[in-house]
Structure 1
Amino acid sequence: MILDGRHALVTGGSRGIGAAIAAALAGAGARVSVLGRDRAALDAVAARAGGIAVTADVTDGMALEAAIAEAEAGVGPVDILVNSAGAAETAKFTASDDDLWERMIALNLIGVVLATRRVLPGMLERGWGRVISVASTAGLKGYAYASAYSAAKHGVIGLTRSLALETARSGVTVNAVCPGYTDTDLVRDSVARLAQRTGKPAEALVAEMVAGNPQRRLIEPEEVARTVVWLADPASGAMTGQAIAVAGGEIM
């Protein structure tokens, strides 16, 4: 159990990649808390991971502060923070409005800043910690019709690299994982909406999504989760400031 007894807090832990990460960390021995907005779904994930659930919107600083304090009261100081909360909205740049940009930046970038700012001082004081953020291949190369999302994920990677430099000799590592298109309910819902709007078969739409992936498939959430566990491993102390693509060989 490489993470035996360490408290891992996973934001966006109610489903998809976040839920898979929570399960994988628990399987590696971590004591897990999951944070998000859907209490029923969080409770189910926490039950499977043998952990606890706390509710907050990661863009609400006061609510996030209270939820993290609740998690620490129940499990102990956060040793491993996984910033997995996020969402993607698509629109042509010239058709995107201020509200879309504010939503994407707040959820995908500011939420990472707020959670990290809350737990990092304790990690530095104790001389050990792991901050791992779920970014995206969109943060490495960009995608058309996803400029706000891509800009936010580029921001996450920039933040990761800067914090890694600031904490390089502290015992804390800061990394990002960058999944390609992943087999989650968010992607399946997006495909269903596109199929309804365009009349194209879902299989054809998925094929278009993964065309840049040499393996020509969706990434499994568990593949992302295993990368997170590796980065959280105490033996991975030299891994910091990295943005690791989990994308089937897609060239960035």
Structure 2
Amino acid sequence: MRRVLVTGGGSGIGRAIARAFADQGDHVTIAGRRAETLQETDAGRGMTCATVDVTDEAAVDALFADPFDVVIANAGTGRASPLTEVSLDEWNNTLAINLTGTFLTFRAALRGMPDGGRLIAIASTQALKGGGRIAAYAASKHGVLGLVRSVAHEIARKGITCNAICPGFVDTPMAEAAVKSVMTGRGIDADAARDMIVSNNPIGRLISPEEVASAALYLASPGAAMVNGHALSVSGGEI
């Protein structure tokens, strides 16, 4: 039985990934800042719940007292705002969670990860392009992808792979927050705002968290042993 860690496992993409691995028989540990949402993710599946802030170096290191076979760095944050309205605190917080949190997670994981291990970062299509009103988020996700590609080179000879999944807009609370931001900024209703958000996706809808989870299952599978340093776009053709 593989040991799998999912950070940011209390909701959205992290919840779907954790359940997907648990449902196929892996022992899953989910980490997040709120114990109650982690327990909702578990819902009787036998997961281990760890209340952890991924920006806390000591707390992250403590997660890895026993090594994991698969580590998914999913914890993230982001808010749409013009660059002129982004405070230094918000900028630093976005990079701390999205980028430094992934660094701390991967560094701790590699200290004990066995051969055949898998590191997966949940990045974004914004790791592959830029966009207005999301400078802090896009910068952090570009950094995540750079980290993934560098780590992939460093660990390739150890039989461990490191990859990123780059989803477009996923049907999660973060997407709903984006809808509300567009509604406020454009003075339009929720349906029009949602249509605007998915307009870059040729398929024309929000991505389901389970579709991102399927990509994670693939990257963690034996069949993906030669996929390394890759940015897997799950975006309906946006990228």
Q: Is TM (by shorter chain) over 0.5? A: yes
* Aligned pair partner of 1:245 in 218, 233, 236: 233
SS in 2 for 1:162: helix
Letter in structure 1 aligned against 2:46: G
Equivalence for 2:160: 172
Map of 1:1-252 to 2, 5 A cutoff? 5-69=1-65, 72=66, 77-123=67-113, 126-196=114-184, 198-251=186-239
Query: Is the contact between residue 179 and residue 194 of structure 2 (CA under 8 Å) also seen in structure 1?
Result: yes
Query: Is the contact between residue 118 and residue 162 of structure 2 (CA under 8 Å) also seen in structure 1?
Result: yes
Aligned residue-pair number = 239
Q: Distance in 1 between matches of 2:46 and 2:168?
A: 29
Deviations 1:178-233 (Å, cap 9, x if unpaired)?
00001012212332354356441111001111111100110000000000000000
Which range moved further: 82-91 or 41-50?
41-50
Q: Distance in 2 between matches of 1:43 and 1:167?
A: 34
Deviations 1:114-157 (Å, cap 9, x if unpaired)?
0111011211xx32210000000011011111111101100110
Taking structure 1 as the reference length, the TM-score comes to: 0.91
SS in 2 for 1:8: strand
Taking structure 2 as the reference length, the TM-score comes to: 0.95
SS in 2 for 1:168: helix
Query: Which aligned segments of 4 or more residues in structure 1 are displaced greater than 3 angstroms?
Result: 196-199
* Structure 1 residues 211 and 149: alpha-carbon distance in aligned structure 2, compared to 1, 3 A threshold: same
Query: Is the contact between residue 22 and residue 49 of structure 1 (CA under 8 Å) also seen in structure 2?
Result: no
SS in 1 for 2:105: helix
Cα drift, residue 95 of structure 1 = 2.5
* Structure 1 residues 68 and 39: alpha-carbon distance in aligned structure 2, compared to 1, 3 A threshold: farther
* Structure 1 residues 46 and 135: alpha-carbon distance in aligned structure 2, compared to 1, 3 A threshold: same
Structure 2, unaligned stretches of length 5 or more?
A: none
Identity within the alignment, % = 43
Letter in structure 2 aligned against 1:55: T
Deviations 1:89-109 (Å, cap 9, x if unpaired)?
222223322111101110100
Query: Is the contact between residue 9 and residue 18 of structure 2 (CA under 8 Å) also seen in structure 1?
Result: yes
Query: Is the contact between residue 135 and residue 176 of structure 1 (CA under 8 Å) also seen in structure 2?
Result: yes
CA RMSD of aligned residues (A): 1.4
Q: Distance in 1 between matches of 2:108 and 2:228?
A: 20
